[in-house]
Amino acid sequence: MNLKNINNIYFIGIGGIGMSALARYFKANKKLVVGYDKTPTEITDALMGLGIDVHFDDAVENIPVAFLKPEDTLVVYTPAIPKSHYELNYFKNNQFRVLKRSQVLGLITENTFCLAVAGTHGKTTTSSILGHLLYECDVEVTAFLGGVTENYNSNLILNGSKVSVVEADEFDRSFLTLSPNLACITSMDADHLDIYGEAEALKESFVEFTKRIKPKGKLFVKNGLPVKGITYGIEDDSDYSVQNIKIENGTYVFDVKTPKTVLENIQFNLPGRHNLSNALIALAMAVEYGCPYQQLANALASFKGVKRRFTYHIKTNDLVFIDDYAHHPEEINAVHQAVREMYPDKQVLAIFQPHLFSRTLDFADEFAKSLSQFDEVILLDIYPARELPIEGVTSDWLMGKVDNKNKQLVSKESLLDKVLKSKAQIILTIGAGDIGEEVQKIKKGLSVAS
């Protein structure tokens, strides 16, 4: 399919973070873009601000007349859309070209020099850093991101079309539609077992992804993963390795050993060893692409982060409020490590909203262990996303497994009151559901109280 010959792009689930990046891309390329989503959000507001029409009622009558011509319309949907969706079924039953988001991403990037970031954790931050590095090195790059970068206030970095940066998403095996020139795998921890059934099937899918790399392409892997490639790691003997780590005024300062040289006194402002690892692999991929060392060092120092990835909302000597997207036990562990490293003597309250009944069931013991590390724990009800409830799988059940005397199950309605009563100096909101919508309420309440 030649996307240049299609004028109209219709999105079903346009408010998704990955879908909205594609919508922005097509709008920037002078296509007529409209779409449906279930509810208004900041993302849909931003799209409408760009002149993209978005509606929120699933009804065929809401499809504009211009989009009723199968020969001139491409329909893009997300797997999160239910199979009973009226608009989706109308398009499928009337000879329209209907593709998943990942398939469209594959079409866009197949004729570019593609850098793909895969892994069960770290994709969004790593690809955001990588897109920023290439942009600052004047590369003609388009980066499709799974989060909103602080530097660009967008999930799309647009500076040309020769090079593309994408997140290679393992969910629904979406990354098998890509054909990258350079790819990395950050992690292969068990996840999405509602799709894969077992961890071994997930690992096999990552192996299949490595076979998608173009001839003469390169694969980078976190040291220790069961896949062969150029290795990277922290304070180890990897091909690319971070060495001599120091913290100066809340900033990491370190050296990077590459296969050819040592880059000294690199600076990076995001806390946590997991973010150091993300920065390292982004740097390594940019080095292999051919970017100059000094420009890369300057660019890395200027990276501000990704919204809802260890995002500071209050940062004073007496009180810190951080919001993070972590929704897997290993991600919660990474947040905990970062907080303890930056604030070793402070009391920490973690407010967690589990995401998906199936993930909560699959990793209940691991979630309990990761949450038990904090000084106080507040649990919200499970965010169902695309799922129906599973009998017996509740936040109350999960809380029973948490080994922490300062734990409680709280409704959203009473959350702020509980937060204000806490003596913790560090407050975290954690989760991938709609907990992000509580952030401004908590920030305002804390600011007034202080």
Q: For 54-92, what is each residue's pLDDT tens digit?
A: 999 999 999 999 999 999 999 999 988 888 999 999 999
Can you list the alpha helix ranges (DSSP code H) found in 372-438? 395-399, 412-421
Asked if residue 164 lies in contact with residue 108, where contact means CB atoms within 8 angstroms, the answer is: yes
Q: Which of 282, 301, 320 marks a domain boundary?
A: 301
Do 94 and 124 sit in the same domain of this protein? no
Asked if residue 309 lies in contact with residue 324, where contact means CB atoms within 8 angstroms, the answer is: yes
Q: Is 391 a catalytic residue?
A: no
pLDDT of residue 373: 96
Do 231 and 335 sit in the same domain of this protein? no
Within its chain, how far is the Cα of 79 from the centroid?
A: 17
DSSP track, 168-217: E--GGGGGGG---SEEEE-------HHHHSSHHHHHHHHHHHHTTSPTT-
Do 292 and 325 sit in the same domain of this protein? no
Q: Which residues of the chain have pLDDT under 50?
A: none
Do 235 and 321 sit in the same domain of this protein? no
Does residue 93 sit within a domain?
Answer: yes
Spatial strand order of the sheet with 348-352 comes to 311-315, 320-324, 426-430, 348-352, 376-379, 407-409
Q: Which of 87, 109, 123, 429 is catalytic?
A: 123
Give per-residue burial for 235-258: e unless 16+ CB within 10 Å, then b: eeebbbbbeeeeeeeeebbbebbb
Do 297 and 315 sit in the same domain of this protein? no
d(CA 431, CA 380): 10
Does residue 105 sit within a domain?
Answer: no
Q: What is the CATH number of the domain that holds 43?
A: 3.40.50.720
Q: Which of 40, 73, 99 marks a domain boundary?
A: 99
d(CA 111, CA 117): 18
Does residue 267 sit within a domain?
Answer: yes
Does residue 216 sit within a domain?
Answer: yes
Spatial strand order of the sheet with 230-234 comes to 154-158, 141-149, 163-168, 113-118, 182-185, 218-222, 230-234, 240-248, 251-257, 262-268
d(CA 384, CA 59): 24
d(CA 341, CA 272): 7
Q: What is the CATH number of the domain that holds 325?
A: 3.90.190.20
User: Which of 88, 107, 117 minimizes the C-alpha distance to 12?
Assistant: 88
pLDDT of residue 293: 94
Total number of domains in the chain = 3
Burial class (CB in 10 A: 0-12, 13-18, 19+), 33: buried
3-state secondary structure of 86: helix
Polymer length of the chain: 450
Do 272 and 326 sit in the same domain of this protein? no
- Residue 101's DSSP bridge partners are none
Do 169 and 189 sit in the same domain of this protein? yes
Does residue 345 sit within a domain?
Answer: yes
Do 376 and 232 sit in the same domain of this protein? no
Q: Is 150 a catalytic residue?
A: no
Asked if residue 291 lies in contact with residue 182, where contact means CB atoms within 8 angstroms, the answer is: no
Q: For 231-285, what is each residue's pLDDT tens digit?
A: 999 999 999 999 999 988 778 999 999 999 999 999 999 988 999 999 999 999 9
d(CA 63, CA 311): 38
Q: Which of 73, 124, 311, 429 is catalytic?
A: 124
CA atoms within 13 A on the CB side of 50: 23
pLDDT of residue 105: 92
Q: Which of 273, 301, 329 marks a domain boundary?
A: 301
Range of the domain at 46: 3-99
Do 406 and 429 sit in the same domain of this protein? yes
- Residue 49 — left, alpha, or beta (φ > 0 → left; ψ -120 to 50 → alpha)? alpha
Q: What is the CATH number of the domain that holds 224?
A: 3.40.1190.10
Do 157 and 191 sit in the same domain of this protein? yes
Q: Is 149 a catalytic residue?
A: no
Does residue 382 sit within a domain?
Answer: yes
Does residue 295 sit within a domain?
Answer: yes
Q: Which of 167, 170, 331, 376 is catalytic?
A: 167
pLDDT of residue 199: 64
Asked if residue 423 lies in contact with residue 347, where contact means CB atoms within 8 angstroms, the answer is: yes
pLDDT of residue 196: 53
Q: Which two tokens stand for residue 141?
A: 């790059």
d(CA 133, CA 301): 10
DSSP 8-state assignment for residue 93: T
Percent over 70 (pLDDT), the chain: 98
Asked if residue 18 lies in contact with residue 146, where contact means CB atoms within 8 angstroms, the answer is: yes
Do 33 and 132 sit in the same domain of this protein? no
Does residue 78 sit within a domain?
Answer: yes
Do 178 and 296 sit in the same domain of this protein? yes
